[in-house]
Amino acid sequence: MTAQLDEEKTLSDKASARLTQAIITGELVQGQKLSEADLATRFGISRGPLREAIRQLEGLGLVTRVPHAGARVVTLNDDTMRNLYQVREALEGFACRMAAQHMTDDEIKKLRTLLNEHEMQIDASAGQAYYQSEGDLDFHFQIALGSRNQMLIDLLAGELYQLLRMCRYRTSNLANRTRLALQQHHQILDAIANRDADLAEMLMRRHISGAWKSISQMMETS
Amino acid sequence: MTAQLDEEKTLSDKASARLTQAIITGELVQGQKLSEADLATRFGISRGPLREAIRQLEGLGLVTRVPHAGARVVTLNDDTMRNLYQVREALEGFACRMAAQHMTDDEIKKLRTLLNEHEMQIDASAGQAYYQSEGDLDFHFQIALGSRNQMLIDLLAGELYQLLRMCRYRTSNLANRTRLALQQHHQILDAIANRDADLAEMLMRRHISGAWKSISQMMETS
DNA sequence: TTGCTCCAAATTGTTGACAATCAATCCAAG
DNA sequence: CTTGGATTGATTGTCAACAATTTGGAGCAA
């Protein structure tokens, strides 16, 4: 989505982006301690900017820091993942309600086109998890944009988005729900097109809580 | 609530707390530029810890920073305030739903007692805005705790809470709704006590959206 | 007067050295 | 053998100097 390459402005920002990437992809394991000296040398920068980057990631909830004892990558246990999906249920449900009120007909049409493209990609790649995930995130991001609420957009596309990608990486493609998800996306978009805010919110909530049920089932059986 | 005095651990944390306080109380005006040198000397610390504090506040959404041009206090215009109240409507409504499912009977009883105390304080202080605000925040905080969702608690008691206090400070006691608010609090608690999650969520949503309507009306007439 | 160029001052970004704190180890006393 | 405490090592926190970038204005030409 926003794939800003290596040309950020400051070293702190570069380090922040690199750390985020490393945490999401699992290059830095959950709960791992972040050694300032180690990371600074690995990134080829001084400890100053690195510390600022860590402070920023702390504000974003990706690391936890205890004074004089260092920072650790946040650990996503079952509880925090359940919490995350619940918060998403609340926020994305509400975003969906707002989107039903504010999205233009043109935006809705384009989003429908996007869903159809996703469908074709799924047919072509026969269930490769990558397209599934990216397509799913795309749809949810467009809904967030449709809410016309910048704070909501920042929350969903920022902190929660990063954590969600960590979850996705951890649970990999445990549950292959791409067909069902796509169908539900269409239903949600139908509700939005009909300007039925109540229904749109309810469907999005079910979509997300259903995803969580599926994931938690898969996890406890494995 | 959490009135941690001057004994934080590190200078960065102290500076962070002091900056937050200064921003909320309006000592630092909205949109004002944060000069590192100036603040560092005022706080009696070096620029290093101060920069870390600013980075942290950036992550919390209290300041906006543009590379090589400095950080500014976030500005709360009507749009962002509306956005804030909408996000609260979504999150606190959901928290209320969870609270109806998870709060113990004992917690509910204590919360009822708290509301009664608030009522007496209001009678005694005859509408002093301070008690109104603090009491209101107390109730909402307890509801958040009742959700048993730590992420929700962190959001509501952290970033959103600070922004809300900024709003309260800015709009002062424009709308004296303490009586009405207290009555609605009782109704919400009734719904929770009856374990009626749907009603509890709906009432909390109306409570918050009503508060926003009242505030925005007051603002456009002034 | 207007607009441009270029310079300089002020501010932010970065660094390496120094101080403070915590954790583990080792030694000695009971 | 255990326990208590001091010591040492590593890691985090802090500082002041240095480098890089932006911004504002002085100077000059059209």
Q: What is the count of residue pairs from A and B with beta carbons less than 8 Å apart?
A: 89
| pLDDT of B121 higher than 70 | yes
Please tell me whether any atom of strand C lies within 7 Å of the Cβ of A68: yes
For residue A62, the model assigns a pLDDT of 92
Give dist(CA A93, CA A208) in Å, integer. Answer: 9
| Six token digits for residue A146 | 């449709």
pLDDT digits (tens, 9 = 90+) for A191-209: 999 999 999 999 999 999 9
C-alpha angle A185/A188/A192, rounded to 5°?
A: 135
| Least Cα separation, residue B120 to chain A (angstroms) | 34
Give dist(CA B105, CA B193) in Å, integer. Answer: 7
Under the banding of pLDDT at 50, 70 and 90, the label for residue B5 is: very low
Sheet containing B33-34: order of strands: B33-34, B70-73, B63-66
pLDDT digits (tens, 9 = 90+) for A99-155: 999 999 999 999 999 999 988 887 777 655 555 677 788 999 999 999 999 999 999
B64: part of which helix (H) or strand (E)? strand B63-66
Under the banding of pLDDT at 50, 70 and 90, the label for residue B151 is: very high
A87 CA → D29 C1’, Å: 63
Helix orientation angle between B159-171 and B11-25, rounded to the nearest 10 degrees: 30
| pLDDT of B7 higher than 60 | no
Residue of B nearest to A92 (CA): B90
Please tell me whether any atom of strand D lies within 7 Å of the Cβ of B45: yes
Q: pTM of the predicted model, to two decimals?
A: 0.89
Residues of B in contact with A67 (CB under 8 A): 9-10, 13
DSSP SS3 for A70:
strand
User: B166 with B23: CB under 8 angstroms?
Assistant: yes
Q: A2-73: what CATH class?
A: mainly alpha
pLDDT digits (tens, 9 = 90+) for A41-98: 999 999 999 999 999 999 888 999 999 999 999 999 899 999 999 999 999 999 999 9
Give dist(CA A87, CA A93) in Å, integer. Answer: 10
Residues of A in contact with B67 (CB under 8 A): 9-10, 13
A212 CA → C7 C1’, Å: 62
Residues of B in contact with A162 (CB under 8 A): none
Q: Which of residues 67-126 of B touch strand D (CB under 7 A)?
A: 68-69
Interface of A with B (CB under 8 A): 9-10, 12-13, 48, 51-53, 55-61, 67-68, 79-80, 83-84, 86-87, 89-91, 93-94, 98, 149-152, 154-155
B13 CA → C29 C1’, Å: 43
| pLDDT of B171 higher than 80 | no
Domain spans, chain B: 2-73, 78-221
A69 CA → D8 C1’, Å: 18
User: A93 with A156: CB under 8 angstroms?
Assistant: no
Please tell me whether any atom of strand C lies within 7 Å of the Cβ of B109: no
For residue A131, the model assigns a pLDDT of 57
For residue A219, the model assigns a pLDDT of 82
Closest residue to D20 (CA to C1') is B68
For residue B148, the model assigns a pLDDT of 97
For residue A47, the model assigns a pLDDT of 97
C-alpha angle B46/B51/B52, rounded to 5°?
A: 110
Pure H helices in chain B = 11-25, 36-43, 47-60, 78-102, 105-125, 129-146, 150-157, 159-171, 178-193, 197-221
Please tell me whether any atom of strand C lies within 7 Å of the Cβ of B42: no
Lookup: nucleotide whose C1' is closest to B9 CA = D13
Closest residue to C20 (CA to C1') is A68
For residue B132, the model assigns a pLDDT of 64
For residue B3, the model assigns a pLDDT of 38
Q: Of B51 and A130, which is predicted with more confidence?
A: B51
| CATH H-level superfamily of A78-221 | GntR ligand-binding domain-like (1.20.120.530)
Q: What letters, b where the CB count within 10 A reaches 16 and e where it falls short, cover A23-60?
A: bbeeebeeeeebeeeebbeebebeeebbbbbbbbbbbb
Q: Of A91 and B134, which is predicted with more confidence?
A: A91
Q: Of B158 and B130, which is predicted with more confidence?
A: B158
Nearest to B158 by CA among B88, B64, B71: B88
